[in-house]
Structure 1
Amino acid sequence: MATLSDARRVVVKIGSALLVDSESGALRGDWLVSLAEDVARLRRAGRDVVLVSSGSIALGRGVLGLGAADLPLEQSQAAAAVGQIRLARAYEEALAPHGIVTAQVLVTLEDSADRRRYLNSRATLETLLGLGVTPIVNENDTVATDEIRYGDNDRLAAQIAVTVGADRLVLLSDVDGFYSANPAQDPAARRYDVIERITPEIEAQAGDAGSGLSKGGMKTKLMAARLATEAGCAMAITLGSPLHPLAALEAGAAATWFTAQTTPQAARKRWIAAMKPKGEVSVDAGAAAALAQGKSLLPAGVTGATGTFDRGDPVLVLGPDGARLACGLTRYTAAETRALRGRRSSEIEAVLGYKGRSVLIHRDDMVA
C-alpha cells in the first residue's frame, strides 16, 4: 500500500469547508497553522509539496456580506477576487515562519486542455519547485466561466498532480475514505483501505455531491483517482478536519489509498509517444550523441526543421542519417526553430527578440 513516507512529490487538495468556518465565514487559522507544520515536516524530509486550495469565494463572500446562498456568476467572481488575496496572504503567513516561500498559481481548464499553455504551466511549476517554493494552486474563479471551469478542486488537484509528475495525491475530505455506501445512511457501509483498480462496481458505490461550502462528492473523487492513478500517482482520501491531517495520515489514520497503475515518468512518455507528429527536426551528430545520453535538445544541435508546428506540438527528431531518434514536444514554432538552428542558447534573445527557453525540446518532454 502507498504511503506518504516514501513519497517524492505530494499534491494536497484542501476544500473550502476545511479552511473557512461555514457559519462565521472566517478562516480556520488554527487548522491552517497545523497544516503548515505538516507541510514543513514533509519539506524537511526532502519532499516537494504543492497545495491545491479552495476558499477564495468562501472568504470573499464573508467579507462582502453575501451570505451562504448560491451566488450568480458575477458575484461569485467578485467574491473570488476579494477572497483570493486573503487566501494567498493566509498561506504566506502560515508557511513563512517555517522558512517556506509560497507562490500563487491560478489556472483554468483551458490551461490543461491547450498543449502550449499546459507546457507553460508545467514549466512554471517545475521551476518553482526547483527553487524550493511551495505553490498554492486554485482555479481562477475571477475569469473562468462554465465552459472553461474544472468546477471542483478534486479533478483540478489530479490534473496538477499529473502536470508536476507527483507520485502522491491527498484529498483532504469530510470523510475518512471511500465507502461501499454512504456511511451516514447505511450503518453496514464499509471503508476500503486500498482500491487496486476502479471497477464499475466501485463506480456504482459513489454518491452524489455534498452540500454547504463543499462542492465535491465521491463521484468527482473517483474521477480524480482515475486520472491520477493512470498517470502514475497514488491517491488517498482521508479526513481533513482534525489538526495536522497529513501527519495523521502518515501515522496510519483511516484512509482509502488508490493504487497507481504505472509510474509518472512512464505515463508521460506513453502520452507523448501516442501523439501524431506535426513536423520533423533534424540534428547533427553531437546532438544525436547527447540525446542518446538522455540530455535535452539544444538549438545549437539543430540542422533543419520541416512541417508546420507550434509551441507544444509533437515533432520527430531525426539524426544526421535521417533515422528517427525521438519524438518530443517542442518549445518553439517551426519558424522559430529554423531561425535558431545551429545557434547557442545565449543567442536566442538576439535572434528572436525575446529570451525564450534555453532548450528546444526538454528531455522530460521526449520519448525515444
Structure 2
Amino acid sequence: MAENRNVVVKIGSALLANSDLLTPRFGFMQRLLEDVARLRNEGYNVILCSSGAVALGLKIVGETPETAGVSDKQAAAACGMPLLLNAYKQVGHEYGFEIAQVLLTLGDFEHHRRFLNTRNTVHRLLEAGVVPIVNENDSITTEEIRVGDNDRLAAKVAQMVGAKDFVILTCVDGLYDRNPDEPGAELVEEVRDVGEYMAATTGTSTLGTGGMTTKLKAANMAQEAGCTTYIANGEYERPLSAVLNGERRCTKCLPHPNPMSGKDGWIANRLQMAGSIEVAKELADELVQNKRSIHREDIQAMDGDFTRGDVLHLYDTDGVERARGLSDFTSEEIRVMIVNPETPPEQLLGYQTKGEIIRANNLVMLDNRHLLWDAPAGMTASP
C-alpha cells in the first residue's frame, strides 16, 4: 500500500440524496465511483466519508428534514444506511472493486487505543484493495458522544491514515469571500490561514449538518497533518481527478509547511472538549519558550468532568486558548489535590505519583496554527 497516495473524500448529503424524493442519486454515484476507479488505477488508495444515511431513511420513518427530531434521525440512519451501502456496492461492482462499511463514534477518535485500532482496520482494508466507506454511527450516537458533522470526521480520518489529499465534495465551487448569493462574491482559490475566512461562512444545506464553517474547521485539522484540502463542487464529470489534477476551479487549503507529528496532531485536533484548565498569562507565555509540566499549583480554574488520558484545553487568564495536553489524572483527583495544596499528592491519592497534571511531553502549544476554542463559561476558580 502506497501511504503517500492516500486520498480521503467527503461527500455531502445533498449530492447523494434527491432533496425532494429522498432517494439515492445514482447518476452522481456513477460518476463518483467511476472516478474512484480511475484514481485506484493510478495508484491511489481512496477512502470515502459518506453522508446520506439519514436523508435516505427519512421517508421510511415518515419524516422530512424539516420535521425530524433526534430520535427520528437516529431511526432514519438505521433505515438509510443499508440503502446507501447497497447503492455503493452495486455501482462499485460495475468498476470491479469491493466496499466496506466503517461506522465510528466520537470515542473512536478521542481515545488513543481505539484511534489506533480503527486506523489498523482501515489500513487492512486498503491493503486488501477494498474501498472503506466511513460514516458516523448516527443510529446510536447522542449529542454528548457524537462528532456532529462528517466534514471534521473526514479530516480526522485523513489525519489517521496519513493522507496527502483531502477532497470535500459539496454543492458549491468552494469558499467565497462572502455569501455566494451576494452580488460580487468571489471564489477564494487558495487559503493558507482559514481563520481569515471564518466570519464569511454561515448557513447549512437542507439535508446536511454542516456548512462552510465545518469545512474550514476540517481543513484546518488537515493542514496541521500536512494534508492539502480541496473544497469543490461535486456536480461535474470526474469530480475527484479533475480537482486533484488542477483542471477546474475549487478552493485549495494549503498544508502547514511544518506538520505536527502523529501524536501531537492527535492531541491538538479535538472534536469535543473533555475539560479545561486556566493558568496565569505569564506562565502561558513562558511555556511557548520553555515547555514544562503543569502542576496543581499552576491551575487557577478548571472545568469539566474527565478521566485520565483525556485531552485538556489550557487557557490563560485572558481567556485565550494556548495549549492542549493529556491529563494524568481524573477531574476528581485534580480537585482533591487543588483543595489540599499542602498535602503530598501520593498521600491524597493513595499511590505513588509526581503530581504532574500534564507532563511536558504530552503538552502541545497551539502557536497560532489552530482555530482556537472559546473558554467554557462554567470554569470555576481554584481555592
- Scaled by the length of structure 2, the TM-score of the pair is 0.66
Indicate whether 1:197 and 2:193 are aligned: yes
Structure 2 counterpart of 1:124, one-letter code: T
| Aligned match of 1:22 | 19
Q: In 2, distance between residues paired with 1:258 and 1:128?
A: 28
SS state at 1:32 partner:
helix
Structure 2 counterpart of 1:63, one-letter code: I
SS state at 1:63 partner:
coil
How much does 1:149 deviate?
1.1
Indicate whether 1:232 and 2:226 are aligned: yes
| Aligned match of 2:148 | 151
1:43-67 Cα deviation digits (max 9, x unpaired)? 0000000000011111111233323
Indicate whether 1:141 and 2:135 are aligned: no
Q: Structure 1 272/169 Cα, relative in aligned 2: closer, same or farther at 3 Å? A: closer
SS state at 2:178 partner:
coil
How much does 1:174 deviate?
1.5
| Aligned match of 1:164 | 161
SS state at 1:64 partner:
coil
2:5 aligned to 8, 27, 33, which one?
A: 8
Q: In 1, distance between residues paired with 2:242 and 2:226?
A: 24
How much does 1:179 deviate?
1.1
How much does 1:241 deviate?
2.3
2:51–2:135 contact (8 Å) kept in structure 1: yes
1:114 aligned to 111, 116, 135, which one?
A: 111
1:301-328 Cα deviation digits (max 9, x unpaired)? xxxxxxxxxxx99xxxxxxxxxxxxxxx
| Aligned match of 2:249 | 254
Which consecutive residues of structure 2, in runs of 5 or more, have no partner in the other structure? 269-308, 311-383
Q: Structure 1 46/120 Cα, relative in aligned 2: closer, same or farther at 3 Å? A: same
Q: In 1, distance between residues paired with 2:212 and 2:152?
A: 11
1:158–1:228 contact (8 Å) kept in structure 2: yes
Q: Structure 1 184/78 Cα, relative in aligned 2: closer, same or farther at 3 Å? A: same
How much does 1:197 deviate?
2.6
SS state at 1:245 partner:
coil
2:71 aligned to 67, 71, 74, which one?
A: 74
Q: Structure 1 146/189 Cα, relative in aligned 2: closer, same or farther at 3 Å? A: same
Q: Structure 1 272/94 Cα, relative in aligned 2: closer, same or farther at 3 Å? A: closer
| Aligned match of 2:31 | 34
Q: In 2, distance between residues paired with 1:232 and 1:189?
A: 29
Q: In 2, distance between residues paired with 1:215 and 1:77?
A: 14
1:14–1:171 contact (8 Å) kept in structure 2: yes
| Aligned match of 2:215 | 221
SS state at 1:209 partner:
coil
Structure 2 counterpart of 1:49, one-letter code: V
The aligned runs of 1:279-298 (5 Å cut-off) are none
Q: Percent identity?
A: 45
1:9-67 Cα deviation digits (max 9, x unpaired)? 11010111000000011111111011010000000000000000011111111233323
| Aligned match of 1:349 | none
SS state at 2:261 partner:
helix
Q: In 1, distance between residues paired with 2:263 and 2:233?
A: 34
How much does 1:267 deviate?
2.8
How much does 1:109 deviate?
1.1
| Aligned match of 1:364 | none
Q: Structure 1 272/92 Cα, relative in aligned 2: closer, same or farther at 3 Å? A: closer
| Aligned match of 1:242 | 236
How much does 1:247 deviate?
3.4
1:262-313 Cα deviation digits (max 9, x unpaired)? 477x631655899xxxxxxxxxxxxxxxxxxxxxxxxxxxxxxxxxxxxx99
Q: In 1, distance between residues paired with 2:265 and 2:248?
A: 34
Q: In 1, distance between residues paired with 2:55 and 2:238?
A: 22
Q: Structure 1 246/159 Cα, relative in aligned 2: closer, same or farther at 3 Å? A: same
Q: In 1, distance between residues paired with 2:147 and 2:171?
A: 20
CA RMSD of aligned residues (A): 2.2
- Scaled by the length of structure 1, the TM-score of the pair is 0.68
Q: In 2, distance between residues paired with 1:95 and 1:7?
A: 24
Q: In 2, distance between residues paired with 1:239 and 1:251?
A: 13
Aligned length: 267
Q: In 1, distance between residues paired with 2:83 and 2:186?
A: 39
How much does 1:173 deviate?
1.1
Q: In 1, distance between residues paired with 2:250 and 2:239?
A: 11
Q: Structure 1 90/237 Cα, relative in aligned 2: closer, same or farther at 3 Å? A: same
| Aligned match of 2:273 | none
SS state at 2:58 partner:
helix
